[in-house]
Amino acid sequence: MFFKKIKNNILLTLIFTLLIIPNYALAYSDYIVAGGENIGIELNSKGVIIVGTYEVNGINPAKEANLRAGDKIIKINNKDVINIEEMLKVIENSNNKSNIKITYLRGNKTNDTSLKLSKSNDNIYKTGLYVKDSISGVGTLTFIDPNTKLFGALGHEIIEKNTGQKLEIKDGKIYSSTVTGITRSDIGKPGEKAARYDSSDIFGNVKENTTSGIFGNYTSTIPNKKLYKVAKEDEVKTGNATIFTVIDGNTIESFAINILRINKNTTKNILFEITDSRLLRNTGGIVQGMSGSPIIQDNFIVGAVTHVVVDDPTKGYGIFITTMLEEAEN
């Protein structure tokens, strides 16, 4: 009886311990799919972003209300608005067009103001505001985890150009994309990929926009490609490596680089130079749209391209792949 009681206590203790031990282990796979695909990106913001103002019959209603580009409208007449459609609906249903209460964010501070709409010559009430609630662009897919079906891309955050701050997103999508041309990089003037994307061919849903990239769930069929072992920070070294990216159409190609320096104390972990003569001939170096291109070394995926060195576009920076994978799991 005593033995059974002790045994049961041990079992209960073990079960309880298993239940309360935090899961510190990272869930990402040891082997993942290396990307390289060009992707179209659409992100929906949390709130409506003011991108400019205009006059109506010689009056600028937005300016009179102390509203300016970069402000984010989050409420109108105390009702939450997350997109332009909701914003217009609330304004249209307002009984007092001369006193619209606007709650907005400027930086991290919440403010209230009163917006007086002005009637245009065609007898329509105007806000004097140019606004947007989404942002789009192109980049490169970095990885897909075949077990969790999480993806990562870009290796850096998407900035809202009117505020200069990271775009706070509600949701978003990534799509298949085709590169249609390249504007070459030159000293002091980074080039860019020209591309189009197919909004009917969805690759995945974006959940996060972070300093380490954009992340979400890959909903399309996972490409049947070679899996690469994830390199830990200490396994990344200087020397020869390659990047996967698209410079024409949809074809992912491998291009030679040389890793010059490793730095664990910054997000610009990897400094590299392009040594591939064909890539240099076609692009002049790193161009916008290459962000997220996976970096491969000795059959390991070690990181992703993030930035170009503007004064020497043959050089660029990258982020450790483990940093992106850890962020994807958060």
> What is residue 164's three-state secondary structure?
coil
- Pairwise CA distance, residues 95 & 287, whole Å: 51
How much helix, strand and coil, in percent to the nearest 5, is found in the chain?
15, 50, 35
Amino acid (1-letter code) at residue 107: G
Residue 204 contacts residue 215 (beta carbons within 8 Å): no
Nearest in space to 282 (alpha carbons), one of 181, 154, 179, 142: 181
CB 186 within 8 A of CB 194: no
Closest to 177 in 3D by CA, of 153, 147, 149, 150: 153
CA–CA gap between residue 134 and residue 206 (Å, rounded): 13
In angstroms, rounded to a whole number, what is the distance separating the alpha carbons of residues 21 and 2? 28
Q: Which of 156, 185, 293, 307 is catalytic?
A: 156
AA identity, residue 198: D
DSSP state of 163: T
- 134, 136, 220, 276: the active-site residue: 276
Of 45, 212, 291, 293, catalytic = 291
Per the annotation, the verdict on 291 as an active-site residue is yes
Cβ-contact 115, 98 below 8 angstroms = no
- Burial classification of residue 126, based on how many CB atoms lie within 10 Å of its CB (0-12 exposed, 13-18 middle, 19 or more buried): middle
Residues with a catalytic annotation lie at 156, 276, 291
